[in-house]
Structure formats: structure tokens, C-alpha cells
Amino acid sequence: MDYEKLTRVMRRLALEAGDTIMAIYDADDFDVKVKSDSSPVTEADEAADALISAGLSAEFPDVLLVTEEQAASHTRRADTFLIVDPLDGTKEFINRRGDFTVNIAYVENGVPTRGVVYAPAKGRMFITLADGTAVEEDGPFEKAQMGTARPIRVNVADNAALNVVASKSHRDQATDDYIGKYSVADTKSAGSSLKFCLVATGEADLYPRVGRTMEWDTAAGHAVLTGAGGRVVRFDDHNPLTYGKDGYANPFFIAYAPSVDLKPA
């Protein structure tokens, strides 16, 4: 894979999808439907998916593409593939809370190695560069070329005063019980894959997810966090979270800075 090209294409498509999403987000109203799994989908999800899928298929025709909005892709398998959530945080989008992202990632042998997470309503862009390191790009964003980008790195955590981030829409008692095992200075909520990115930038130390997610929800954020020196492990045994699983469904997991003293499930 040409990682320079991959990074450039993923970034451009994320920005173009962000423009499409925001045009619908800023409209007076938009259509919301319910999928077979009872999750919501909007015209923004579908329009962004069409744009990203066409772009990736044109640039990388020989690489398997898995995307949330195309059920047929969920039955296909390969060791190496592109995986997309065109609008992660649909509930945040519907409620106009801003915590939604465009997620595009490249998985190699079960490991997300490159990714882009773009939060268009918040003006934040996180990218894994060709060399595997992670940066946050400062806006305004030009599609033709990357602007000023700052390397990001996980925090050296103070285990006596941890900063924890949890899901805004899916937080439950099991999550609170696990967080309660730590000495916590501050707990914040965030939607979508922004939670991975907050750990990657050092704004949080720990993100436990005790709830259902799919690989397209997590792969891009996982790649960004890895590029910033972070880790993502299974909740039950603390082994690395891998990709290309049956149905592309994730187990519970923990994303964290390696200096955090992880507690057992």
C-alpha cells in the first residue's frame, strides 16, 4: 500500500463527506429512518457513504471495502481491508449535539494501522500519517493539501487522579461500576470515535466501553490512538482488540494510555 496516497485520499474524502453531512445538518429538517437492527440512519449517513465508497473504490479497487451502510459488505472477509463509518454518532447528529465523526480506516492483518477521524461540527481532524504517527490538523481545512498538523501523544497518567471519557449516548451502570475501580479526577462524556481521540491527545487517560460496538465504529479511532502511543484491548482478558471478526462485531474493550494501571473486568 502507498501510505502517502492512502492518507491523502482518506483525508480528502473525509472532508468532502463532512461538507455533505453539514449541509444536511444545517438544514431545517432531514429524514430519519430505522434500520433492521433498530438503529437510526439519516440521509446524511447515506450520502456520505455513497461519496466515500465511490472515492475509495476508484482509488483502491483491489482492496476490500467494508462500510456500515452496505450490509452486503458485512459478509465479506480479507486480512487487509478498508472500513468506513460515514457518520459515526448518528444519535448525536439527530439531536444536533455535534459529537459525530466521519471514520475511515485501513486494517492490515487484523490491526488498524491508518485512520482518519473528522468531526465536522467541531472542526477537529485526527489523522494517522504515512509513517504511522498521529496528528491533529488545525483548520480551516483545504482539501488539496494538509495544513498545520501537530503531533499528538497520550498522556503520562497520574493513576491517583485519572481523566476518564465515556459514551454520551450509551453510558450505563456497568460502565460506571468499572470506572469506580479507579481514582478519578474528572469524567467527561463524548460521542462517536472522538473518545479515542481524546485519549490520543492526552485530554483523557482511559475510555472503557462496556457495550455493543462494531468495527467500523472503532477502527479509525483505534488507528489514531495507536499512532499516538495508546492501546486498545479487550475488556475481559486485556488482549489486543483485533479486526476482521465474524460479523465485524466488537467485544467490550478498553482504550487507554499505557501508563494507566488497568483494573480487571
Q: Which residues are annotated as a binding site for Mg(2+)?
A: 68, 85, 87-88, 217
**Given pLDDT bands bounded at 50, 70 and 90, which one contains residue 36?**
low
Half-sphere CA count of 168, side-chain side, radius 13 A: 19
CA gap 89, 5 in Å, rounded: 27
Q: For position 235, which CATH number holds?
A: 3.40.190.80
- Supply the pTM of this predicted model: 0.95
**Are residues 126 and 171 part of one domain?**
no
Q: Averaged over 188-204, what is the pLDDT?
A: 95
Query: Domain holding 28: CATH number?
Result: 3.30.540.10
Q: Are residues 132 and 191 in the same domain?
A: no
Residues tagged in the binding site annotation: 68, 85, 87-90, 217
Q: In which band, very low, low, confident or very high, does the pLDDT at 38 lie, cut at 50, 70 and 90?
A: low
Residues 147 and 166 placed together within one structural domain of the fold: no
Give the residue numbers spanning the domain of 234. 162-256
Residue 264 lies in a domain: no
For residues 104 and 61, membership in a common domain is answered with yes
Query: 3-class SS at 70?
Result: coil
Nearest-angstrom CA–CA distance, 89 and 148: 27
Residues 123 and 231 in one domain: no
Phi, psi of 14, rounded to the nearest 5 degrees: -65, -40
- Residue 58 located in a structural domain: yes
Q: Is residue 197's pLDDT more than 90?
A: yes
Which residues are documented as binding site for substrate? 68, 87-90, 217
Could you report the per-residue pLDDT of 72-122, keeping only the tens digit for each?
999 999 999 999 999 998 888 888 889 999 999 999 999 999 999 999 999
Number of folded domains in the chain? Answer: 2
